[in-house]
Amino acid sequence: LKRLRGMNGGGKTAQGQGRQVFPPSVPLGSLHSLACHSCEGCMIRVVLLGVALLMAAPVMAQGGGMSDEYVRERERQKFAKPYGFGVELDLFGLFPYFDQWQQVAADGLGSDRVNYAGDMNGTPFGAFLDTDVRLRFSWHDSIELGYSFASLRQFDTFEETTRWNGFIYPAGVDADYTSDLHDMHVLYRRDLFRVGRSSNFSFFIQAGLEWAVIDTQVGRDHFSAQDNRERERFRELLPWPALGLGFVWDISDHFALRADAFGGWEDSFPTFQKREGRRVKQSVLSLTARALFEWKPVSFFAVLVGARYRYLNVELESKIRHSEYLWFSVGPEIGIGFRF
């Protein structure tokens, strides 16, 4: 406005009206244009200031105003204190796709693999139970006890002539199929190191034993099997060693992501037992893997969502008998956990 006044020596004041009168040579549009540019400049400065504040917010909020040295010292003091004792209990429902078959050769007669889905027309999707208990007695050491159970029942007909445990079942007769798997493990876990600004990412190894109680049956209602030989219980099976590794990422006080895998292998390992006067050896291939997301709305309760993979192949063999069992499953799991 001052520049406008200076163009013609300034404006004149109308008598008795107390308002400024500009010379006719200055268009009123110029005033509007200057006012708009002035407002736009203010708005641009406000927007730039807001953007700068938003960009700076994460930086100012990082660590809650705490320096890296303070956070490191706080974590050092935390892990320097005795841990005490803690218990974590997880209960899962598994909803996997699975495959399962079994065979038993005896008395010089070979055996056919009898498959739950393929031969017995069973549904290869199911719901099973799984539970894990972790006993932690230091910041870096814990023991995990795991148990899962899967039970299958199917009643169908033999579509082909089937050999099982020294018997021959003709095609077309009724078939009773049973499979029970009690799957167990005990693992010692050692946390090797922690990384992250708050030591919230830990990597661990684990070692221990796995074991399975397996009860299978292939038979029919109207075909009397001598000595209950339509049933095979794999009772000579001994525990086998397992090794594994994994990690835990504590994203925050309420969220965590963990994954681990472990497995075992044996080939013709002696069971130090005899059946029908012959020494029995066992061969095992086992693998378990899991990825799990954990949400803790409160410190003592958690909601668990993830996926689990399980493969187990067991063979018991002597000079006159060969029993084999396979279980494979992969799929989602949902559960709850308690932290004490």
pLDDT, tens digit, 9 for 90 and up, residues 30-74: 444 444 445 555 555 654 565 454 444 443 434 445 666 665 666
Among 85-89, 250-254, 310-314, which range has the highest average pLDDT? 310-314
Q: Which amino acid is present at 104?
A: V
Model pLDDT, residue 219: 84
Instruction: Give, for 270, the enclosing helix (H) or strand (E).
Output: strand 255-275
Instruction: Give, for 90, the enclosing helix (H) or strand (E).
Output: strand 86-94
- Supply 54's token pair: 């938003």
Per-residue DSSP letter, 277: T
pLDDT tens digit sequence for 158-176:
888 998 888 888 898 888 8
Q: Which residue has the tokens 């320097």?
A: 80
Instruction: Give, for 324, the enclosing helix (H) or strand (E).
Output: strand 321-339
pTM tops 0.95: no
Could you tell me if 336 and 297 are in contact, meaning their C-beta atoms sit under 8 angstroms apart? Answer: no
Model pLDDT, residue 328: 96
Alpha-carbon span 191 to 206, nearest angstrom: 9
Beta-strand pair 114-115/128-136: unpaired
- Supply 168's token pair: 């021959």
